[in-house]
Structure 1
């Protein structure tokens, strides 16, 4: 990966481009009226594309330009290019897109309204798992707990807005952009331009913090810009303004999750029903993989004797949606832990004992039909956060204090919440869907080691360097990582789901073993390449959702303490305690830094970042300020387990602990069942409850 940001690049004779968009929603295109364009300015639409007017992701197609139908507001119908950026923007406002509206319901629904309009939306994907008769258990049970949790859309805030620059070099087109999947960009552009891969070179640049937001959208933008560059034979630049980036790049889907659980008199879960609805927007090429991931992780760390888990995704006019720090498991993990906290509250149980009592034990079967082999010792992980946070004392004291509050000024409004769970690393769901991971090592005549396996971070690169140096008995400075461009890369899948830390070390080890076996038998240079394949003992069926869906799991726990100011309704995070077991650690400093960074991102997501439906301005969308990051204490358990990912664990644990602490504060008021949550939401919940009490 080139460390230069794309926006900092300059090429000779570069010209500008902007996308021409329709403001209509769900409409048939009648005509595109193009204004008189000055010399040097050009407009290209779907009819000008030589190859395919779509790009494919794991068997899902997304149109490059709208041809016959507008699916969502802001969908591009073409691209305008020219030498003058200011003039380009003036001309773009003169385009007229004539359309004819088609009927379609609005994307406003909840579980309560499901029967009225849920089935009016096209279902684009559906997944489920079940065992036993859950309804029969519920009918006989005297203790059944219900809960719902919904997640609003989130914008992928990047330090650098979406930007693509093309450069012609020796009759080859170079495409410069920030992406987590360079080879998908290469494949997409070649299919759209109908040219061989030898004619295109994709150069991957610094991403800042991608949070899985740059897996598929860069390929779409690159294809659009490449059409203009290929047809004009000019170097083209497109750089979104913050407003355009905010409005038209991908956002997270809206997710709603409902739980229903039966608990025995002894405090054991006897059955659970989980219903998941995902508003996938107009296009989400990975929605099927996301639903599979959500279903297979819906049980979390718990043993469910009887269960019914169903997930559906619907297509609406919400625009482009995608991933955010994981493939959907953070939603179900957060919702499950919130639900567990509500079971504990309603049935007056111990929050720690209930979790440990119902934890899936070694030898018990998971919902995907395999026996659990690893014991994550959640007792030790929970002890680390509970003892240091004084969780037990605060939990019961705050519950008693909040239940007995007579008015808003009666004592401190405080709450504390806990959550446990796992991060799921190296998704076999993706591998079985066609996303392959490979590595290649070459030992040269002058004892240089050339590595084609682009790591996702500099930290991982240092880890792999140490591994290679030890295996091949070479110095660190002899090891060179190639891979700034697809010319130097080996074809590989997206940098996501901790596939780097889960897959690359094994592939590197196999490559090194191959070189050692040939080193003194064959002349140099020696090249060995390996592609990840599922072991027979860890096989996975993508249709039945049976088998081993992950390479590894990273266990963790989180405690959050909150205080609510009853005068301003502002929430203050008094402390966050976080513990995990990421296996063997190569750099403690890197692990601690990663934990703090991801916790800050999670807090920003649940309490700072707000997409206002009626005021979509980027100036209204804030991310957490450095000075506003709450105090964090993290604990990394000593372990000899295999190294495993950590970057997505906070997104699963922090929201659940936060909402549980908040609802403990709101125990006499209206419960909060959604994220993110802001001062206005707290005000509404408190005042509505007080109004009911007065009546």
Structure 2
């Protein structure tokens, strides 16, 4: 009997519950020192001078490093290579890294940071994406502060709106959202005498980290090994940010020839790391009296912060989801990722779609109310089914389980439009769709690798390039290997994800690990 699809104990569950997992901050290495980051106190300005004399006299301080010490390129590569590892002449958001202090203890490193005297000439800052977009005088990115502009054009919206019986138009705003992973960002860099360096830490995407280290240290990939430690949650917040953290540990480690550990405290983590993109949406939608969605116009603006990070890709997701899981023959969408002087925003579960889908579903409810139709029935009349085309033109030729899912939810919940509030708690209905995998915008990253080794006694160990971050990947992949090789689940183990064991496997994002690493393992088991 196979174990795929069966309810089994999580392979890492006992150690997590018992506190036995080795997280980055649990690790110690001989001669290891600690790092802390000197950050910008203002949103935009010109760095006139940095005075380290007082900080260097602090007990235990071993050194302070700036962009001048970087042997390679001062860049954290992600999508667009616009983000410096350490600020050079300008600072562009509160909390931007300027220098790295290292000392014998974490306490000593952190104590030295406020002793660094920073002289910055403050400049006017752009803190609102609507103001920043096409700003005439302040150019943070290009000549219009727009990281990316995307469009959807389908049918004739002007004509369709003229034929609608009901039209609803609104503006929506969504704020930052903090990931609130249990374990804050943490990284260790360990240099070796042969000129190689090893990075261990909390992360989702080890191959992103490797690329960042090779960039700033000017090393070949063969000299950089990245190993994921037990990771206390990510939700997207440990996709791109660990690359920056790894650089902050690696530079002093490389320069001094000793291991360096860097762990953010919770406040530093919340102030300086990526968040869900704040968004502004203007949405107009129209329907006929028969309850058919006829036209949608949307303008979608996300605040990318000071550097592009993943904003261009996040915008792609939001754009293709801009009409929701509904048929509509007339659609006009303009979406923008805009640069501001705020903390760079990045990946978060849903990746740009929750913001726009909040607007979509609000519009659907209001259209149904104006038409005097149940919000459930209005959705039934418009949901995508097999054979339909999405607003981007994709024909849904295979299984589309939306209608069945909707029916089962209503059956299980007993919901109806007349469901009374219970002690002030109301119940609503929302229907969404969500893209998994990297999609058309990420084809160049859609790769993976796996290695399987069977021992003489029949037990098995496997390696993959995607990471376990609490989603249960290690258990699912162990089940796949057990079934493919016909061995008990208890005989199967997974090594820590390590860039030296498998080829570049792309990022652990978009719910892709089971599909990509699972199929790679099936091939490896042949």
- Alignment check: 8 A CA contact 1:283 1:315 kept: yes
**Paired residues for 1:66-465 under 5 Å:** 66-107=87-128, 122-169=145-192, 171=194, 172-392=196-416, 394-395=418-419, 415-442=426-453, 449-453=460-464, 454=466, 456=468, 459-465=472-478
CA offset at residue 445 of structure 1? 6.5
CA distance in 2, matches of 1:136, 1:56: 45
CA offset at residue 169 of structure 1? 4.9
SS of residue paired to 2:120: strand
- 2:48 corresponds, among 25, 30, 34, to 30
Instruction: Count residues with an aligned counterpart.
Output: 498
- Alignment check: 8 A CA contact 2:448 2:503 kept: no
Q: Tell me the alpha carbon deviations over residues 513-563 of structure 1, each in whole angstroms, 9 at most, x when there is no partner.
A: xx3xxxxxxxxxxxxxxxxxxxxxxxxxxxxxxxxxxxxxxxxxxxxxxxx
- Alignment check: 8 A CA contact 1:483 1:489 kept: no
Q: Tell me the alpha carbon deviations over residues 641-662 of structure 1, each in whole angstroms, 9 at most, x when there is no partner.
A: xxxxxxxxxxxxxxxxxxxxxx
Structure 1 residue 11 and structure 2 residue 29: aligned?
yes
- 1:481 corresponds, among 494, 500, 523, to 494
CA offset at residue 379 of structure 1? 4.1
- Alignment check: 8 A CA contact 1:452 1:490 kept: no
Segment drifting more, 157-166 vs 220-229: 157-166
CA offset at residue 159 of structure 1? 1.6
- Alignment check: 8 A CA contact 1:293 1:429 kept: no
SS of residue paired to 2:83: strand
SS of residue paired to 1:30: strand
CA offset at residue 86 of structure 1? 3.9
CA distance in 1, matches of 2:281, 2:137: 14
CA offset at residue 243 of structure 1? 1.7
SS of residue paired to 2:373: coil
Q: Tell me the alpha carbon deviations over residues 641-694 of structure 1, each in whole angstroms, 9 at most, x when there is no partner.
A: xxxxxxxxxxxxxxxxxxxxxxxxxxxxxxxxxxxxxxxxxxxxxxxxxxxxxx
Q: Give the direction of change, closer, same or farther, for the CA distance of 1:504–1:260 in structure 2 (3 Å limit).
A: same
CA distance in 1, matches of 2:467, 2:206: 13
CA distance in 1, matches of 2:45, 2:332: 38
Aligned to 1:558: none
CA distance in 2, matches of 1:89, 1:413: 47
Q: Give the direction of change, closer, same or farther, for the CA distance of 1:445–1:418 in structure 2 (3 Å limit).
A: same
- Alignment check: 8 A CA contact 2:451 2:501 kept: no
Q: Give the direction of change, closer, same or farther, for the CA distance of 1:118–1:342 in structure 2 (3 Å limit).
A: farther
CA distance in 2, matches of 1:298, 1:342: 17
SS of residue paired to 2:447: coil
- Alignment check: 8 A CA contact 2:375 2:417 kept: no
CA offset at residue 286 of structure 1? 1.1
CA offset at residue 472 of structure 1? 3.0
Aligned to 2:62: 41
CA offset at residue 219 of structure 1? 0.6
CA RMSD for the aligned pairs? Answer: 2.9
Segment drifting more, 288-297 vs 91-100: 91-100
CA distance in 2, matches of 1:63, 1:114: 22
- Alignment check: 8 A CA contact 1:212 1:326 kept: no
SS of residue paired to 1:261: strand
CA distance in 1, matches of 2:519, 2:344: 35
CA offset at residue 56 of structure 1? 0.8
Q: Give the direction of change, closer, same or farther, for the CA distance of 1:266–1:23 in structure 2 (3 Å limit).
A: same
- Alignment check: 8 A CA contact 1:394 1:416 kept: no
CA offset at residue 212 of structure 1? 1.1
CA offset at residue 17 of structure 1? 1.5
CA offset at residue 280 of structure 1? 0.8
CA offset at residue 412 of structure 1? 7.2
CA offset at residue 376 of structure 1? 3.5
Q: Give the direction of change, closer, same or farther, for the CA distance of 1:393–1:418 in structure 2 (3 Å limit).
A: closer
CA offset at residue 423 of structure 1? 3.0
Normalised TM-score (structure 1) = 0.67
CA offset at residue 84 of structure 1? 4.3
Q: Give the direction of change, closer, same or farther, for the CA distance of 1:68–1:149 in structure 2 (3 Å limit).
A: same
- Alignment check: 8 A CA contact 2:385 2:403 kept: no
Aligned to 2:17: none
- Structure 1 runs not aligned, ≥5 long: 399-410, 516-695
SS of residue paired to 2:262: strand
SS of residue paired to 1:20: strand
SS of residue paired to 1:208: coil
- Alignment check: 8 A CA contact 2:462 2:494 kept: yes
- 1:492 corresponds, among 472, 492, 505, to 505
Which structure is higher in helix share? Answer: 1
CA offset at residue 7 of structure 1? 1.3
CA offset at residue 200 of structure 1? 2.6
Q: Give the direction of change, closer, same or farther, for the CA distance of 1:69–1:114 in structure 2 (3 Å limit).
A: closer
CA distance in 2, matches of 1:437, 1:364: 32
CA offset at residue 501 of structure 1? 2.1
- Alignment check: 8 A CA contact 2:205 2:467 kept: no
CA offset at residue 447 of structure 1? 5.1
